[in-house]
Every structure is written in structure tokens, then in C-alpha cells.
Structure 1
Amino acid sequence: MRCRCLRSGSATGAAGAEARERGERGERGERSRSPCQRRERQEFCQHCSKADAEHGPLSDGLLPFAVCQAVTTAVWTAARKQAESAHRDVALRFPLSLGSEASQTQPDELCVEAAGASLEAAEEVVSLALSTLTTALKESGWEAERLGAAVCAALRRSRPRPIGGSACPAEDVLVARVRTMSLCAVAYWRQVSQDLGKAAASLARYLEQHRRLYWRRPPYRGVNLGGWLLLEPGPSHELFQLHGTNANRCEWSLLRTMRERLGAEKTTEVLHAHRSTFLTEEDFRQIRARGFNAVRIPFGYWVVCGASGGDPYVGPGLEFLDRALTWCRQLGLQALLDLHGAPGGESAEAPCGRESSKWRWQLWRFDESLEALRILAQRYKGHPAVTGISVCNEPSEKVPAEVLCKFYDQAVRAIRTAGMPPEEVSIVLPIYRTERLDEIWRVWSKTFDGFARHANVAFDLHLYHCFGAWWHRQGLGSHLRMAKRDRKILRRVPAVVGEWSLALPQKAVAQADHEDQAYKAFASAQLQAYSHASHGWFFWNWCDSPEHHPGWDARTCLKRQWLELE
């Protein structure tokens, strides 16, 4: 089990269960809608879903990002002005929770509900979006050569084609997406002062449709490579057993012990040997062959720019990242670069590199973190395998939300300025535990307007079922239901599930006829739920200590057929 397992708790226990229960009430509220309202939503949304399923990205090519941005800027501004006008002198405010009783409307239903307050006003935004798209395409010189006559003709019309009319597939997809984006922007600004849950779902749908206009990659179906470039007792168990003591629970303390016993030069040699042999090209081949399409590569800041602040870490070591990314490019794997350990630490826990009871959030050296991200972006910009960067990992809840979101805003700007544009690289902003999602979403949206200002960013959630006594008291049925309910959360925000596992408590396993049955059901429930994450998911971990729960080790889970990827 990972060294973080002794933490207080991923308190997704009773409080988390109570919050998620509200989703059940939202479903009951949907059944109270009139048959006419439900048919209208279903008709339009089935049209959008069918176009996406049959044609995916535009059949004539994706749009230039600059064109997409021109459209979204116009739509966002117009929708906000409409909402402010409708409220007149009443300031737009933000409710406190994403989980209100009426907030569980399915995202696919929002495209019609968006215009509920004023269909005519919503259609004005749709027309503006299509007009802006036409103008931006002409100015880019891209229209006639890439889209074809049928799409261009559709865009020149002042109003979108009625549903059910004849058109080419590319026109269907483009017009449907732009229309859905526009209506969801209207929905967001009309809902944000009344129901933050509905507003979040509208915004998530808006961002989803925007991203599909320019993003060429499938969602991540990946695995973590933890224990390689940042040591943890589970996956890096051999080093801890050979060179550590029972007191060594993180890389910082292990290296202090090694330097005392072996000296600085020998310690560096041991770390270099570990980094050279822990993962090989064959591991990457196996990852690809077993159905994964991506890897998340955790590393400490010292791998990027060397140790600072008196830390005992060994670095830099970017040559190991270079080699891994070469294998990813050759095998067609996407790579999410994960700054797992920030300068000064983003928490007091071992996964950031150092476990320390004396840590406080002011020790996090934000400026050095931004510099490490700039170095990464400059080095790997344009690399075909690098499709994501995570700006940190599992930040402590002691870091004030305003401070964290300010860092996220600066990090996105640093990465983009260094040469990684939204159409090439996603940027991942860790929330970590779902209990803090409301707070961070609210600050990020209200104070920074973060999703509107920064394209192709996603929140990172880690969804485990084993940390804390509450999880260990639950039966198998409860674990499966809780996994199912996670999809409601994932529909409300752009998200990647950066870590999850099959570490299932023994009480739940004992309730199945056979342990294989329990683990297969648990894996299936999680995979179904995490398929709703807009940016995908990553299993923790590719390998782990044989002394730990087998649900942490992807190779074991695959071998025993607990984890089956289609």
C-alpha cells in the first residue's frame, strides 16, 4: 500500500457519502419534468451525441485554435452580458455548493434547458457564435480549403439549420457543437447565481464541446509510473529495503540515511542505477500491449532542475524523462508529465518527496515550482508524446484556496508562454479529494474566471476506497454504489482521475463468492464511472511491492484478469 495510507483519511467517508446522496434526489427531480420537456431535450441531445459518435472530430479536419478562441470569447461575453441584463441591478453571485438538490441534471440535457428562461435570447448567442466562426475562418484563410462548400454555406446562414434537415456530416457536427456551446454558455450565466451545481454542469458541457473542435487525442486510459523518478516505499520497495530503516518513509529521509551510510558519491550511483533499470522499454511495450494509451510520469522538482533549499535529493535527471518520452513516441503512448514533488513540498505527506510534521504551506516555494514548469515546457514543447502537464500533486488542504488558484493561474500562463498551446497540451490542476472540489471550483471560476481564460485545463481527482476507517466498514455493494456516484461529480467539471486502484478492503472482498468476482466488479464499476472524466484516467500503479495489496499493482490486476481494458 502506498505510504500515504496512514493519512487521516480521504474523508470521503460519512460526509462524502452524505454529499453524494444528494445525487439520488436530483434524479428523482428529473422524473418530475413534463414528458414534453424531456422529449425536447432528448431529441436535440440525441442529435448531438449521434453526430459525435458517428463522425468524432470534423470529417474535414479540426478547426484552428485561434478560430475556436474567437468564437468562445464572443459567446462567453455575450452570454454574460445577457445574464447581467436579465438580473439588472442584482449582482451575479456564486452559491456555496456544487451539490444542491436541483443540480444533478444530466450534462447532455443542458443544451435545450440552457435557453429555458429566454429561447429568443439564447438563439441570439447561437447566431453570434456562427457569425463569429464564419468571420474568423475567412480571416484565417482556412474556410474554403478545409471545410468544404456545404459547411461554409451553413455558417453563412444567420440561424442554424433546424434539427432533422438534410446536411453533410461535417456540417452536422460543427453546427451542433457550436450551438451546444452557445446554449450552455447562456445556461451557465443564468444558473450561476441560483444553482452552482447546474452551472458547473453547463460549464463542463460548454468546455467539452469547445475542446472537441480542436483536440485530436482520445481521453487518457493510462497507468502511473510511480516509484521511478520519485521514490515511495511501495513501488520503490527494493531501495527502501536495501538501504533504509523502518523510519524511512519518504525519499528525503531515505537519502539522508543513504548519505550517512554510503556517502554522497555512492548514493548518487545507487540512484542512477535505480533510474536506469526500474523501467525499461519492455515495460512501455507491455503497457501499450495491455490496452493502455497513456502514462502519467511522477517526478520531483529535483529531476528537472536539481535539488535546492538544502534538500538531499539527487538531480537533475531529465535524460531519463527524455528516454521514456522517446519510447512513448515510438509506441504511440501519450505522456502526462506530473510534477509530483514541488520545491518545499505541496503537503506534509510522503508522495511529495518528504513527510514532515513541521511542514506548513508557506514552505512551498511557488516561484521555483513555476520555474521548473517553464523548463519542462521549453524542453518538451512540440514533443508528439507530451499531451499533458500536471502542475503539482495532491496539494494540502491547508493551502488556502485563493493561494492555490493564484498559483494555478500563474502555472498555466507560464506553460503556455513557454510554448505549449492548448491544442497540443492539456494542463492538469490537482484538487485531489472531492471534498474540496466545491471550494476550489468556486474560487477558480469566480475570482479567476479560470476555465474561460485558460483553454484545455482539467481538475485532477484521486478516487481511492481504502484510506480511513469509514471505507473499511463498507460492504462490497456500498463500494460499487460509491464508484457509480463518482460519475455525477465527473460530469460537472473538466477532469482527469489521476489516481485510482483496486485496493479494496477485506470486508468487501469477503462478501463475494470469490475474490476474483469482487475485484472484477470493483474494477468494472470504476471504469464505467471514470469514463465520464473528460480527460480520462490513470491507474495507480504499474508496479508495487509484492508485500502490499495486489490491487495497487496493474501487472498483477491484469494477470489475474481483475482489470480488463476493452
Structure 2
Amino acid sequence: MLRVHSPLSQSQTAVTERRERDVESPRSRSPRGSRATRQAVIDLDDTEHGLLADGLLPFSVCRSVIQVIWGKARSQAQAAHAAREASATGIPLSLGSSEPSQTQSDELLASGAEEVVSSALAALLKALDLDGTTRIPRQQGMQRSPAEDVILSRVRTLSLCAVAYWKEVSQDLGKAASSLARFLEMHRRLYWRRPPWRGVNLGGWLLLEPGPSFELFQQFGPARCEWQLLQQMRRKLGQQKTAEVLQAHRNTFLTEEDFQQIKSKGFNSVRIPFGYWIVTGPSNGDVYVGPALEFLDRALGFCKTLGLQVLLDLHGAPGGESGETPCGREMKDWRWEQWRLDESLEALKVIATRYKGHPSVSGIAVCNEPSEKVPADVLCQFYDQAIQAIRSCGMGPEEVSIVLPVYRTERLDEIWRIWNKVFDGFVRHANVAFDLHLYHCFGAWWQRQGLNSHLRMTKRDRKILRRVPAVVGEWSLALPHRALCQSDDEDQAYQAFATAQLQAYSHASHGWFFWNWRDSPEQHLGWDAQMCLQRRWLSQAEWKAD
């Protein structure tokens, strides 16, 4: 039952409606900014140096500014908290001082906000000077360029969101989450050049699943996962013939024509699930067949030609991140200690080293759908290590987003708290996002819901997605039978369901991926993107990607 009870998911957003206005047109507001904002002048339109006329900054500059903003905002919040504590206990802040009231504490925060803004702008000018990509300062009073206005507005917004977060985090987790999400959004806009993902999954290709890989499962089953299927195939065909059949599947399941069609349908990206054995070959006695990185190479070549972005998804980890079919092997008695975390990190390093600098690779997902048996602190520790491993191989935040699966919304609060409280993860690690899989068909509760309930629940998802950096890594149009009983027109019901989901998922900072590009004809048509487009349940006009 997908319900969210905690303040992170239920409380009102932290920032007022004014915060939702587009910062891309800040000129009308800039004269009312602080004195530091009005006096900051950055030369970004110097064609001699090929500078930042698009309003983007080198990531090294962004990192320096963020460190100043976050540190200053935290210290300001700590000072205000100390003032409140002193007021509550009757202990003066200093000899001869009077006890500060709540109003005085708020005033301290307000004045501190302007100090954070001033410090941030000073840090920006200094970082640009050290970076050497621009000449500063111009003469005071000269008209700023539109690019300058965009950057100054974003830095100011960053500062105010950081102040709001540190004020709210001990009082209202929902408001704090909204402020942090806005902070991270503005930060990313300072250096990230790509549009959000609007894509499809290519499941069933480099990790076999009964739905999308239905032909193999029908021919050589019965089996419920790749592991069981390969055991059956080896009994029937022998090891060599099994490898040949698998090679033929990998060669023919997806062709250049598929990628051309994906592009023509208005998608701008693909998520490619693969097992670790594709990267390193099988280990620890596993029955999988690999390595097979040449197939990823080929797919990335097609994507480069067509201008498609790629999210590389380590869908099946060594030992499994769960005991379920999607990780490659179904094991009812699976224990989380069986997940070979060190081997997972090595596989991610191989991927990062091989594809760093590739123009199509814009994301790496470090695993897929981790079991709730994995303790949240263990999961966050792995995520911290995975990010460091990928970044150390040369994939910087300005090049690649790193995706950290939460999977189910019920676990979002717990992981969000640990990731921020223990690891300071979103600020210490730039351009990372939580992965949520938002299905409406699994579990008894969903089976009981009518169509209107399904549509209402997409509004809940929209609220959640506005409070965390996120990608909806998987979603579909699969609906329980009961949801269609209230509708006289099945096609209209699916169209309404698709529209509601697309409107909600447009709030995911990093984008979304439909599951799947193709699926078994014996499955619900809502799993197959091509069939959904053919039936006009999905309309590319609703998301037309850049």
C-alpha cells in the first residue's frame, strides 16, 4: 500500500509561490537585491575567451561557491539556534546582554541570509578570477548581460534556499526537503547543459526477464529469471550452444532501427539495464554468460549518432541487490549479506573508466531496486562509495548524473534522513538523484482501487517529486482490471492515466523512463511503449523531448 506518512512527504512546501517563478528572467528583480548583488559584475560575454554567455559556469567555480554558501548558512542557523536556546534557558549570550526573543532570533536569521548572499557573490567573483575563464571586475555601474543576471539570480536563490533549509531542518522536515530540492535544482542549473531524461527502458536485452525476453523463456523455459533459464538451456543445449543462442539474442533483440524509432517517437534518452556479468564476466561460480561490453559499445554508438542520452543501469549486482527476478536470480532465501558490494564497486569503475567523456552517457545507476532487507545505513554507505568510485574515474558532475535507487516511496523518508544527516550526501556529492519506480499494479491495495483513485495518487507522486532530486526510473500504464470498470471507454481511461502520470513525473528533476520499449504480447499492453503509442494511450506531444 503506497502511503507516505512522514513530514517529508506530507508537509507543505518550504518556499512560497514566488520561488516557483522562472529565474531565467531575473532582470526585473535584480535592482531590488542586496547591495552585494547590485555591485557584483561578471564579464561573461567576452568572445575573445569563448566565455559563458549561456549562463553556465565551470563546475570548479560552482563547487567553491556551494561550499561557501552551505557553510555560511549552517553557521548562521547554528547561531540562531543558540540564541533560541539561550532565550529558553535564560542564559545570556554574553555578559550584559538581554535575553533574545523568538523575533530577535528570526531577525538574526534574516540578517544572516543577506550575509550568506554577500559571501556567496564574493566567492563567485574570486572563483571566477582563479578559474581564469573571465575578466573581472568591470567598472561599477555598467549594465549587466542577461547571462550575468541569470547567474547572479541563481546564486542568490541558492543562498536563500540554503538558509531556509538550515532554519527548517530541525522544525519541519517537509519544508526542509523542499528547500534542499530547490537548492540542488539551482545548483545544477549553473553547470548542467542537458535536458531532463524523457526516455524508455531497454529491459530484456542485457539482463533477461520473462516479459521482454519472452521468446527465450517460451522456447527454453519454464523459468522465472535469467539464472534459471540458463540452467534449463544448458541442460537442453549444452554450454557452447547456450552461449551461441544468447549471443544471437544480444545481436538481434535491439538494432539500429529500434534506436531510430525511439528517437522518432520523441524520446531523448534510453535506460539500459545490464547485469554485472556484461561488464566483468560472471564471478563466484555464477552461471551467467559474459563479459559482453561490445553490445553496450554498439548501442552507445547508435545513441551518439542520433543524439540520444543514455542512463547506464547496473540492474543486476554481484550476489544480487535483492532476491527478485529483476536482478537476474530469484532466491526466496536471499540475505542482504550475499550482495557482493566490493565487486559492485569494481564493475562501476570499469563502466566509468570505459565511457568517461562519451557524449551520450549522461547517467549511471549504481544498482536497481535494492531489497528493503538491506539496512538503510548500509545502502547509503554503498552509495557514498559508489559515487566516489565513479567520480574518481573521471566522470565529473558536469558530465554524468549518478542515480541512487530508493525504489519504493515507503522507504524514501528513512533513506533521505540518513543520506543527509550522516553523509551530507546531496551537498557533498553534486548531481545525484534518487530513483523511484512508480507502478500502480503491484499489491492488493492497488488492485482494489478505481480509476479516480489511481489518478489522485499521481498528485501525491508529484508532491514527492518536488521535494527530492529524483528520476522515475520505471513507470508504465499497467492498470488493474477494477480501475477500468468505471470507464465506458478503455482508451480514454488509459489516456487519462498516461496524462496524469506525465504531468506528475514532469516534476522529477532528472526525468523519467517508461518501462519498457517492448514486452511480451501475452502481458498487459501497458508495459509496451510501442503498443501504448500505437493505441494512442501515450502521445509524444505531451512530453516532446529536446
Give the alignment's TM-score, normalised by structure 1: 0.84
1:223-258 residue CA offsets vs partner (Å, 9 max, x unmatched): 00000000000000000000112xx10001110111
Q: How far does residue 17 in structure 1 lie from its aligned partner after superposition?
A: 6.4
Which of 371, 380, 388 is the aligned partner of 1:396? 371
Q: From 535, 538, 557, give the equivalent of 2:510.
A: 535
Question: For 2:52 and 2:261, how far apart are their aligned partners in 1?
Answer: 32
8 A Cα contact 1:58 1:213, kept in partner: no
Structure 1 counterpart of 2:427, from 452, 463, 484:
452
- Aligned counterparts of 1:295 and 1:400: Cα–Cα separation in 2: 30
Tell me, yes or no, if the aligned pair for 1:361 and 1:398 is still in contact at 8 Å: yes
Cα deviation, residue 22, structure 1: 7.2
Change (3 A) 1:42 1:202: closer
Alignment match, 2:96 = none
Counterpart of 1:86? Answer: 80
Q: Following the alignment from structure 2 to structure 1, what is the Cα–Cα distance between the partners of residues 455 and 206?
A: 33
Aligned CA distance change for structure 1 residues 239 and 440 (closer, same or farther; 3 Å): same
Residues 47 and 432 of structure 1: is their aligned pair in 2 closer, same or farther, counting only changes over 3 Å?
Answer: closer
Deviation per residue, 1:99-132 (Å, 9 max, x gap): xxxxxxxxxxxxxxxx887321101001111110
Q: Does 1:176 align with 2:170?
A: no
- Is the 8 Å Cα contact of residues 486 and 529 (structure 1) preserved in structure 2? yes
- 1:168 is displaced (CA, Å) by 3.3
Match of 1:238 in 2: 215
CA distance in 2, matches of 1:564, 1:544: 19
**SS of the residue 1:383 aligns to:** coil
Alignment of 1:421-436 (within 5 A): 421-436=396-411
Counterpart in the other structure of 1:229: 206
Q: 1:19 to 1:78 in 2, by over 3 A?
A: closer
Indicate if the aligned counterparts of 2:8 and 2:413 stay in contact, CA closer than 8 A.
no
Matches within 5 A, 1:401-416: 401-416=376-391
Matches within 5 A, 1:477-488: 477-488=452-463
Q: 1:292 to 1:234 in 2, by over 3 A?
A: same
**Could you tell me whether the CA contact under 8 Å between 2:227 and 2:288 is conserved in 1?**
yes
CA shift, 1:491, in A, is 0.6
Which of structures 1 and 2 has the bigger CA Rg? 2
Alignment match, 1:497: 472
User: Relative to 1, partners in 2 of residues 1:547 and 1:345: Cα closer, same or farther, differing over 3 Å?
Assistant: same
Question: Where does residue 345 of structure 2 map in the other structure?
Answer: 370
1:356 aligns with 2:331: yes
For 1:493, the aligned partner's letter is V
Paired with 1:436 and 1:320, the residues of 2 have a C-alpha distance of: 34
Q: Which amino acid aligns with 1:324?
A: A
For the 8 Å contact 2:8–2:177, the answer to whether it is kept is: no
Does structure 1 residue 70 correspond to structure 2 residue 47? no
Amino acid at match of 1:202: S
Distance 1:51 1:506 in 2: 49
The answer to whether the 8 Å contact 2:55/2:150 transfers is: no
- Note the C-alpha offset of 1:49: 5.8
Q: Determine which of 137, 144, 167 is the counterpart of 2:128.
A: 137
What SS is found at the alignment partner of 1:193? coil
Q: In terms of mean alpha carbon deviation, does 60-69 or 441-450 score higher?
A: 60-69
The 1:190–1:315 alpha-carbon spacing in structure 2 relative to 1, beyond 3 Å, is same
Give the aligned partner of residue 472 of structure 1: 447
1:52-201 equivalences under 5 Å are 59-88=53-82, 118-144=109-135, 153=138, 167-201=144-178
d(CA) in 2 for partners of 1:132, 1:20 = 34
Whether 1:254 aligns to 2:229 is: yes
- Per-residue CA deviation, residues 420-462 of structure 1 (Å, 9 max, x unaligned), is 0000000000000000000000011011111111000000000
Partner of 1:94: none
Residue 268 of structure 1: how far off its partner (Å): 0.4
Contact kept? 1:389, 1:428, Cα under 8 Å: yes
Shift of 1:50: 4.2
How much does 1:58 deviate?
Answer: 6.6
CA distance in 2, matches of 1:136, 1:343: 42
Q: Name the residue aligned to 1:100.
A: none
Shift in Å, 1:513: 2.1
Q: Could you say what the CA RMSD is over the residues aligned between the two structures, in angstroms?
A: 2.3
Amino acid at match of 1:381: K
Q: AA paired with 1:333?
A: L
Residue of structure 1 in register with 2:102 after alignment: none
CA distance in 1, matches of 2:304, 2:199: 15
How far, CA to CA, are the matches of 1:43 and 1:373 in structure 2?
A: 41
Q: Distance in 1 between matches of 2:55 and 2:154?
A: 14
Residue 5 of structure 1 corresponds to none
One-letter identity of the residue aligned with 1:81: S
* Conserved? CA contact 2:6–2:413, under 8 Å: no
| Matched-pair contact (CA < 8 Å) for 1:20–1:485 | no
Aligned residues: 498
Which residue does 2:88 correspond to in 1? none
1:302 and 2:277 equivalent? yes
Q: Is the contact made by 1:58 and 1:173 (CA closer than 8 Å) also made in structure 2?
A: no
Shift of 1:507: 1.4
In the TM superposition, what is the alpha-carbon distance from 1:26 to its structure 2 partner?
3.8
> CA separation in 2, counterparts of 1:428 and 1:468?
26
The aligned residue for residue 462 of structure 1 is: 437
Gaps of 5+ in 1: 1-10, 31-37, 92-114
Maintained 8 Å contact 2:4/2:410: no
Which of the residues 481, 497, 519 maps onto 1:544?
A: 519
CA distance in 2, matches of 1:250, 1:414: 29
Q: Which residue of 1 aligns with 2:99?
A: none
The unaligned stretches of length 5 or more in structure 2 are 28-50, 86-105, 542-546
Inter-partner Cα distance in structure 1 for 2:54 and 2:199: 29
Q: For residue 176 of structure 2, what is the amino acid of its counterpart?
A: A
Cα offset for 1:397? 0.4
Residues 67-102 of structure 1: CA deviation (Å, up to 9, x unaligned) = 0000000101111111112222999xxxxxxxxxxx
In structure 2, what is the equivalent of residue 110 of structure 1? Answer: none
1:211 matched to which residue of 2? 188
What is residue 291 of structure 2 aligned with on the other side? 316
Letter in 2 for 1:125: V
Cα separation, 2, equivalents of 1:540 and 1:339: 16
Q: Distance in 1 between matches of 2:272 and 2:349?
A: 17
Percent identity over the alignment is: 67
SS in 2 for 1:370: helix
- 1:20 shift after superposition: 10
Amino acid at match of 1:84: Q
Quick one: which amino acid aligns to residue 138 of structure 1? D
User: In 2 relative to 1, CA 61–510 (structure 1 residues): closer, same or farther, beyond 3 Å?
Assistant: same
* 1:494 CA displacement: 0.4
Taking the aligned partners of 1:89 and 1:411, their CA distance within structure 2 comes to: 40
